[in-house]
C-alpha cells in the first residue's frame, strides 16, 4: 500500500513510524514532512494546506490511503477533497473539523447538548464585550473563535488584562479574521487531562490518557508553547473519571455531531479539566495532539493503520484498540528562546541506536546534515514499567542528543509523579 501523511511535525513522525509497522505498507510519503521524517518516509515539498496539489499528488502516486494530521488542512476540507477524488482518508471532513475550527461552534454545541464546559458568552462586537467585562468575574478567559496557531486563548488575571485581550483580538486583529468573534468564559481550576479518541461516528474508543506541559520553563513558568513534553497515562484520569467522561462527554459529543449532520470520523481530542464539579471540556481538537501523540502511539499495541481504516470504514466497533500497561514520557528539545525568537541552522546529532525513539519536528537537511529549523526541534520518548523509569529513560535519551542552542524542561512528569504519591 502507498500511504500519504499530510503534515510535518513530531506528531506526524510518530504517526509515520507507527504506520510503518504494518507489513502491507510499501511506501509512505510525507507532505511536507521534515529533515528528520525523511529517514522514515519520502518527504515531498508540498505545503500541508495546498489542497489542490495534495490531491494531484495522491493521484499521480497511486495513494491507497491518506492521513491528514494537522488542524488547518482538516478545517479547510482536505479530507473532503481527497475523498471526492476517490482516496480513502483518516480525519474528519470540514463540516466536523469545525469542532476545533470554531470555538463559538463548539461552545454552542456543548450548551445545546448539555455537555459540561465553562459557562460562556459570545461577542461579535468589541464594545459589547468591554461592557460585559466591567462586571464579569475575574480571572476570566478570552478566546478567539478561529484557529490561531494555539495562541488564541488569553487568561486574564485582572480586568485590565481582559480589556487588553479584547482590544488585541477584536480591534488590533492579532489573529486576523479568527478574532472577528470571541468567547469570554468562566475560569476553571483543576488538573488537565488530554484524551485522544478514535471515533467512526458510531462508537468512540479512547486512547490512553496523557498530560501535556504547555509552559516553556520548569515549574510551569514562562510563556505558553505548543507543548514541552508529555507523559501517559495521566494519573488524574482515574477509572471513575473515565466512566464519567464516557457517559457525559465522549458519547454525548459524537451523538451531538451526528444529530447536527456533522458525523465526526477520525481522532477527536478532548482537552479536559477535572474540576471539583467533575470533568469539563476546555477544548476539542479535530486531530491528534502534539506532543501527546508522541507518548500515546508508542504505547499502542494494536496496528495503527488497521484501526485508522476501521474508522474510515465505520467498523471501529469490531476493531480492537489495545494499549500497553506501561508508562511513557516525551521530553521536547527546543531552540533556546522558543516560543519567541530563536536561532536555527545548528547541526543535530542523534546516535543511530536511539533514533527510533526520536520524533523530529523542526529540522531540515542542509549539505546532507540534519540541522535545526524550528522552535520545537524534536521529542525523545521512552517507555517504562513505572513513570519514574520512563522519565529517567527519556532524560537519558536527551543527554545523548546534541545541537547548538538546545534547551528543554527538566521537570517533565514531575507533576504526574507527585499526583501518584498524593
292 in contact with ligand GLY (CB under 6 A): yes
Q: What is the CA radius of gyration of the chain?
A: 21
Sign of torsion over alpha carbons 14, 56, 374, 74: negative
285 in contact with ligand GLY (CB under 6 A): yes
220 binds, among ligand GLY, ligand AMP, none (CB under 5 to 8 A by kind): none
282 in contact with ligand AMP (CB under 6 A): yes
> Is residue 93 a contact partner of residue 201, using CB atoms and an 8 Å limit?
no
For 306, other C-beta atoms within 10 Å of its C-beta total: 14
Which ranges of 218-317 does DSSP label H, i.e. alpha helix? 239-245, 251-259, 293-296, 304-313
d(CA 257, CA 57): 31
Least separation in angstroms between residue 315's CB and ligand GLY is 27
DSSP summary character for residue 410: S
- Residue pointed to by grid coordinates 481538537: 285
Least separation in angstroms between residue 212's CB and ligand GLY is 5
Residues 210 to 269 in contact with ligand GLY, rule: CB under 6 A: 212, 227
Residues 82 to 101 in contact with ligand GLY, rule: CB under 6 A: none
- φ, ψ for residue 270, nearest 5 deg: -100, 115
141 in contact with ligand AMP (CB under 6 A): yes
187 binds, among ligand AMP, ligand GLY, none (CB under 5 to 8 A by kind): ligand AMP
- Residue pointed to by grid coordinates 459557562: 119
290 in contact with ligand GLY (CB under 6 A): yes
Residues 183 to 202 in contact with ligand AMP, rule: CB under 6 A: 185-188, 192
Closest CA to 339 of 389, 388, 278, 407: 407
200 binds, among ligand GLY, ligand AMP, none (CB under 5 to 8 A by kind): none
Among 40, 80, 283, 290, binds ligand AMP (CB under 6 A): 283
Least separation in angstroms between residue 151's CB and ligand AMP is 8
* Window contacting ligand GLY (CB under 6 A); options: 45-53, 87-95, 288-296, 349-357: 288-296
d(CA 89, CA 6): 11
Site residues for ligand GLY per CB under 6 A: 150, 212, 227, 285, 289-290, 292
Amino acid at each position: 500500500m502507498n500511504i500519504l501523511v499530510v503534515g510535518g511535525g513530531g506528531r506526524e513522525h510518530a504517526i509515520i513510524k507507527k504506520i510503518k509497522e504494518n507489513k502491507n505498507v510499501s511506501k509512505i510519503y510525507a507532505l511536507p514532512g521534515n529533515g528528520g521524517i525523511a529517514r522514515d518516509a519520502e518527504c515531498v515539498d508540498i505545503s500541508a494546506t495546498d489542497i489542490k496539489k495534495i490531491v494531484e499528488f495522491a493521484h499521480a502516486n497511486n495513494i491507497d490511503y491518506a492521513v491528514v494530521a494537522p488542524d488547518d488542512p482538516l478545517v479547510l476540507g482536505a479530507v473532503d477533497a481527497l475523498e471526492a477524488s476517490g482516496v480513502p482518508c483518516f480525519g474528519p471532513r470540514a463540516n466536523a473539523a469545525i469542532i476545533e475550527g470554531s470555538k463559538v461552534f463548539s461552545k454552542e454545541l456543548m450548551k445545546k447538548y448539555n455537555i459540561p464546559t465553562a459557562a460562556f458568552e459570545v461577542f461579535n462586537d468589541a464594545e459589547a464585550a468591554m461592557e460585559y467585562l466591567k462586571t464579569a468575574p475575574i480571572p476570566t478567559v478570552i478566546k478567539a473563535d478561529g484557529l490561531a496557531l494555539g495562541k488564541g486563548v488569553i487568561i486574564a488575571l485582572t480586568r485590565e488584562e481582559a480589556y487588553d485581550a479584547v482590544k488585541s483580538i477584536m480591534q488590533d486583529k492579532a489573529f486576523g479574521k479568527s478574532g472577528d468573534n470571541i468567547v469570554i468564559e468562566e475560569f476553571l481550576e483543576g488538573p488537565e487531562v488530554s484524551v485522544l479518541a478514535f471515533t467512526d461516528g458510531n462508537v468512540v474508543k479512547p486512547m490512553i490518557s496523557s498530560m501535556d506541559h504547555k509552559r516553556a520553563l520548569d515549574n510551569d513558568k514562562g510563556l505558553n508553547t505548543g507543548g514541552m513534553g508529555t507523559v501517559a497515562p495521566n494519573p488524574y484520569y482515574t477509572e471513575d473519571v473515565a466512566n464519567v467522561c464516557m457517559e457525559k462527554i465522549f458519547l454525548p459529543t459524537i451523538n451531538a455531531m451526528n444529530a447536527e449532520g456533522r458525523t465526526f470520523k477520525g481522532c477527536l481530542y478532548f482537552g479536559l479539566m477535572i474540576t471539583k464539579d467533575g470533568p469539563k471540556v476546555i477544548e476539542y481538537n479535530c486531530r491528534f495532539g502534539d506532543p501527546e501523540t508522541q507518548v500515546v502511539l508508542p504505547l499502542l499495541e494494536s496496528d495503527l493503520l488497521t484501526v485508522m481504516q476501521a474508522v474510515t470504514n465505520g467498523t471501529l466497533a469490531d476493531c480492537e484498540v489495545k494499549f500497553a500497561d506501561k508508562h511513557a514520557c516525551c521530553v521536547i528539545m527546543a531552540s533556546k528562546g522558543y516560543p519567541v525568537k530563536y536561532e536555527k541552522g545548528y547541526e543535530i546529532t542523534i546516535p543511530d541506536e536511539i533514533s527510533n525513539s526520536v520524533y523530529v519536528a523542526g529540522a531540515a537537511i542542509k549539505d546532507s546534515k540534519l540541522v535545526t529549523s524550528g522552535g520545537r526541534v524534536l521529542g525523545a520518548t521512552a517507555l517504562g514499567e513505572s513513570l519514574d523509569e520512563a522519565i529517567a529513560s527519556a532524560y537519558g535519551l536527551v543527554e545523548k542528543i546534541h545541537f547548538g542552542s538546545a534547551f528543554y524542561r527538566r521537570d517533565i512528569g514531575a507533576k504526574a509523579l507527585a499526583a501518584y504519591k498524593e
